[in-house]
């Protein structure tokens, strides 16, 4: 994993917090002290937390997940955008639209509109409109590109959010919390670390510090992507999943295909046992169990009569039974339920 040293954090100004009068008491465990009425963040706690967050990002990407970079403040826009582009992940750097995650279906419609306008601009269809209409379409395209250009390739919800400044991106964090999406965020001394799964305590205003965070997370993404095993040409791409839906590590013998396994199980469950000796009051249960074996031209009543006759022949004759017991079985009532 690309390591970041404490000296690099000191040079980037990660340890500088906000003024003491703006502090949030929930950040007290991460504060070393104060100097000139400015809180100093304890880098001995920041560095291991940063490494832990980077390791989590790497694992998410290695499992096939997607990370959404979020940084819409002016000091973070360019650094977040460049880092996301370098590692091939979606990003939001202009303005977070309300419902971008919770109402993703509607957002996808706007993205499709943006892609349509891009196609019109490339093939020259845009120039076929009148001058006024073409100008309006260009403005619409520019507006959509600013807001949604970074997530054009994101076809589904992300698996992880990386956020710069939780106070400025509160709406994004709230939406991620509602959907159960984990959040890795840089938290300064004036913000609360609530709803953040992996806290990186540090300066979220200095451009050098933001660039350090973004580049480190981008490196973790690239390392996680390189850890994904490639399937050689000609091999089966079947991947066995565990109970949580994650791929299991491959063992020596290849796993069987799901279709074959299901067929074997179905055949095993439908195998019939050898017929057992039953009493007269269990005849209907036997008929119900073996009704699948009745031929199409034999009615259920005739089959019941044949079955009773076969059972009567197998039963030992009773000495106390009257002679009427040898009468055809069809003359006896079929059920014990009294007639209404």
pLDDT value for 262: 37
pLDDT value for 333: 47
pLDDT value for 91: 96
* Low-confidence residues of the chain: pLDDT under 70: 1-2, 229-301, 303, 307, 311, 313-340
For 104-158, the pLDDT digits (tens) are: 999 999 999 999 888 888 887 877 788 888 888 889 888 999 989 999 989 899 9
CATH annotation of 104-155: 1.10.287
pLDDT value for 275: 45
6-101+157-226 and 104-155 share one CATH topology? Answer: no
For 281-301, the pLDDT digits (tens) are: 454 444 444 444 444 455 666
pLDDT value for 249: 56
pLDDT value for 25: 93
pLDDT value for 161: 96
Mapped to the 3 state alphabet, what secondary structure does 144-212 carry?
HHHHHHHHCCCCCCCCEEEEECCCCCHHHHHHHHHHCCCEEEEECCCCCCCCCCEEEECCCCCHHHHHH
**What are the b/e assignments for 232-260, b being 16+ CB within 10 Å?**
eeeeeeeeeeeeeeeeeeeeeeeeeeeee
Question: Where along the chain do its domains lie?
Answer: 6-101+157-226, 104-155, 279-311
pLDDT value for 298: 57
What residues contact 318, with CB distance under 8 A and at least 6 apart? 325
Q: Which fold has domain 6-101+157-226?
A: Rossmann fold (3.40.50)
pLDDT value for 309: 77
């Amino acid at each position: 994993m690309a390591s970041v040293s404490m000296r690099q954090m000191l040079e980037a100004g990660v340890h500088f917090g906000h003024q003491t009068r703006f502090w949030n008491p929930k950040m007290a465990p991460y504060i070393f002290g104060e100097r000139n009425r400015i809180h100093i963040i304890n880098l001995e706690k920041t560095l291991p937390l940063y490494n832990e967050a980077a390791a989590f990002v790497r694992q998410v990407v290695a499992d096939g997940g997607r990370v959404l970079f979020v940084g819409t403040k002016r000091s973070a826009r360019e650094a977040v955008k460049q880092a996301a582009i370098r590692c091939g992940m979606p990003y939001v750097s202009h303005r977070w639209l309300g419902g971008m995650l919770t109402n993703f279906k509607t957002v996808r419609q706007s993205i499709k509109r943006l892609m349509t306008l891009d196609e019109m601009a490339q093939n020259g269809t845009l120039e076929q409109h009148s001058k006024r209409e073409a100008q309006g379409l260009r403005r619409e395209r520019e507006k959509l590109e600013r807001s949604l250009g970074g997530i054009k390739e994101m076809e589904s919800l992300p698996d992880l959010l990386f956020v710069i400044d939780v106070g400025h991106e509160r709406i994004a964090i709230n939406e991620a919390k509602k959907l159960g999406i984990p959040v890795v965020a840089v938290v300064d001394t004036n913000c609360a670390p609530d709803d953040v799964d992996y806290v990186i305590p540090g300066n979220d205003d200095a451009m050098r510090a933001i660039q350090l965070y973004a580049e480190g997370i981008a490196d973790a993404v690239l390392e996680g992507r390189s850890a994904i095993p490639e399937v050689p040409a000609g091999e089966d791409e079947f991947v066995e999943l565990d109970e949580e839906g994650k791929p299991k590590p491959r063992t020596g013998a290849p796993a069987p295909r799901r279709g074959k396994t299901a067929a074997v199980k179905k055949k095993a469950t439908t195998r019939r046992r050898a017929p057992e000796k039953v009493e007269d009051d269990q005849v209907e249960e036997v008929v119900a169990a073996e009704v699948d074996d009745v031929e199409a031209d034999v009615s259920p009543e005739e089959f019941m009569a044949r079955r009773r006759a076969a059972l009567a022949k197998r039963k030992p004759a009773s000495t106390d039974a009257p002679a009427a017991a040898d009468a055809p079985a069809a003359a006896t009532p079929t059920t014990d339920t009294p007639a209404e």
